[in-house]
Amino acid sequence: MFNKALILLFSLSYGISINAQSIDLRFVVADNNDCNNNNSCYTIQVKGVNGADYLGTSSILFEYNANVIEFDGNQNGVNTGSFTPLNFDSLAVQQHCLMSNVSPFFDDISPYSQIHFDGTVQGLFLMTLNLTVATNNDVVFACPNIENIWTDVATICFETINAAGSPGLQFIGSDNGATSFNDDTHNPDLIYDNGTFTGFLESVDESCQQQGIELNLKAAIQGALLNSNSNLMRDDLRVKNLIPLTEPFTALDNFMHVGSGGGETISNSLLSVTGNNAIVDWVFIEIINGNNVLATKSALLTRNHQVISNTGETILNFENVPPGNYFVAIKHRNHFACMTANTITFNGNVNFLDFTDLNTNLWGNNGSVIIDGSFQALWTGNTNNDDQIIFQGANNDVGSIFFEVLLDPDNDESSTNFIRNAYSTNDLNLDGNVIYQGIGNDLNAIFFNVLSHPDNTQFQSNYIIVQQLP
């Protein structure tokens, strides 16, 4: 039975907070929110702040308006609603979080047991995350890393009773009460502070109206087309197991996630796909209203130019973006971005946008490179991740290639023709190698783009290509 004694027990068992590191919590409307069938679904997300990185055994308690939404059940069975773990659970473990990745002495199992939850008392819901193997001597089994990344914990679906009312979702325990977070060492003196807790008060009707917009997107990046024998992009990064399982943009300058974007992860099974649908690399999508970015999403690009979600879906959903007229931009970590010249009307249907189509008008002049006169792609050559491609002169993009090669720890002889194998912004042809000098070098991509750019009518090697964004 869910009672005050149980809440007090959880409060006492997690110690007293003495750590400036903290955990933020929030509710977001779930991707599977089903307004047409009287279901209201919300996902709980957690984020570490000030160095908080891994969760130990922890509890989350929240209240809701039982006159608006209803749930009845626990981990032993659910009568009304549903509970779906997304992380921190033995039934929902990501491939990169398996304990066997840390030690060969463990099987392919989660470092957490099944999430325990109790929603049998109307208006209250308690869930407990159970880390089975604490960090010891810097050997970390806890996963995923939540530092500065909004990470899904679980989705709870309620039966809707009054769609006009507010669900009144509010976390309880803002002062380290029933909602408490241990770090992964399970040291009672190192309990995390409770940070910012964000509830959800919009009515069910309002959240349904703002459930999001959907986009089917195609694009191409020039680097992966170099030395390709067809219009298909090369997937060398995938073949060499260099594509990271977590999106790379959060760690890069000039990429700012907005809304629910950021921290997207993929499974090894998605990277095991071969052929035309094989993954080429991560891309970054923006939905823009005037001068304001409303939402972002890290997605993946396949060899046949299709942009897919981190779960492999061809339809990208931008949660909580209402219908309207928006610009769409696509970015890559070492290519120039492209943006639509005109707004696209999102009215509840799936919109199709093909950045490779020569008839798709882009912002600015020569915002893309034309491939064999038949389709367009993002310009490669932007190693500095700014808005210019420079071969010769100040702030050129060549220097970073030179120094990455020269300063590689394995380049004992400081050779300029050393080949560095890495997932790097200096790998402009996306072959998994950073090469300054020799066959397959990355300088040629910059040199020939600068020399052959349509606006470089004098064929000057110090011409500067400028990214075409407002």
Number of domains in the chain: 3
- Other beta carbons less than 10 A from residue 103's beta carbon: 10
Confidence of residue 401 (pLDDT cuts 50, 70, 90): very high
For residues 204 and 217, membership in a common domain is answered with: no
348, 377, 406 - which closes a domain: 377
Mean pLDDT over each residue of the chain, to the nearest integer: 90
For residues 19 and 120, membership in a common domain is answered with: yes
405-437 pLDDT, tens per residue? 999 999 999 999 999 999 999 999 999 999 999
Q: Give me the mean pLDDT over the 48-72 stretch.
A: 94
Q: Give me the mean pLDDT over the 274-278 stretch.
A: 94
Residue 290 C-beta-side C-alpha neighbours within 13 Å:
1
160, 190, 209 - which closes a domain: 209
Is there a contact between 320 and 295 (Cβ–Cβ < 8 Å)? Answer: yes
What pTM was computed for the model? 0.60
Confidence of residue 210 (pLDDT cuts 50, 70, 90): low
Cβ burial of 170 (10 Å; 0-12, 13-18, 19+) is middle
* β partners of residue 155: 43, 84
Q: Is residue 345 part of a domain?
A: yes
Whole-angstrom Cα distance, residue 252 to residue 53? 19
For residues 198 and 329, membership in a common domain is answered with: no
For residues 304 and 268, membership in a common domain is answered with: yes
87-140 pLDDT, tens per residue? 999 888 777 788 777 777 777 788 899 999 999 999 999 999 999 988 887 788
pLDDT at position 282 over 90? yes
* β partners of residue 158: 40
174, 189, 209 - which closes a domain: 209
Q: Is residue 190 part of a domain?
A: yes
**Nearest residue to 200 via CA among 223, 170, 221, 224:** 170
* β partners of residue 292: 289
Whole-angstrom Cα distance, residue 70 to residue 94? 30
Q: What is the DSSP string of 251-277?
A: GSTT----TT-S--B--HHHHT--GGG
* Both structure tokens of 431: 């072959």
For residues 369 and 392, membership in a common domain is answered with: no
Q: 427 is in which domain, residue-wise? A: 388-466
As a residue count, the chain comes to: 470
Of the given ranges (152-156, 173-177, 256-260, 308-312), which has the lowest mean pLDDT? 173-177
* Element of type H or E holding 23: strand 22-29
Q: What is the pLDDT of residue 142?
A: 87
Confidence of residue 316 (pLDDT cuts 50, 70, 90): very high
For residues 350 and 412, membership in a common domain is answered with: no
Give the DSSP letter of residue 36: G
For residues 337 and 413, membership in a common domain is answered with: no
Is there a contact between 266 and 245 (Cβ–Cβ < 8 Å)? Answer: yes
CA-based max dimension of the chain: 80
pLDDT at position 222 over 50? yes
Whole-angstrom Cα distance, residue 355 to residue 339? 9
The domain that holds 158 is classified in CATH as 2.60.40.680
Q: Is residue 11 part of a domain?
A: yes
For residues 204 and 231, membership in a common domain is answered with: no
3-class secondary-structure state, position 9: helix
* Both structure tokens of 233: 């992009």
Q: What is the DSSP string of 112-133?
A: B-PPEEE--STTEEEEEE-BSS
For residues 262 and 340, membership in a common domain is answered with: yes
3-class secondary-structure state, position 96: helix
Round the CA-based radius of gyration of the chain to a whole number and report it. 25
Q: Is residue 382 part of a domain?
A: no
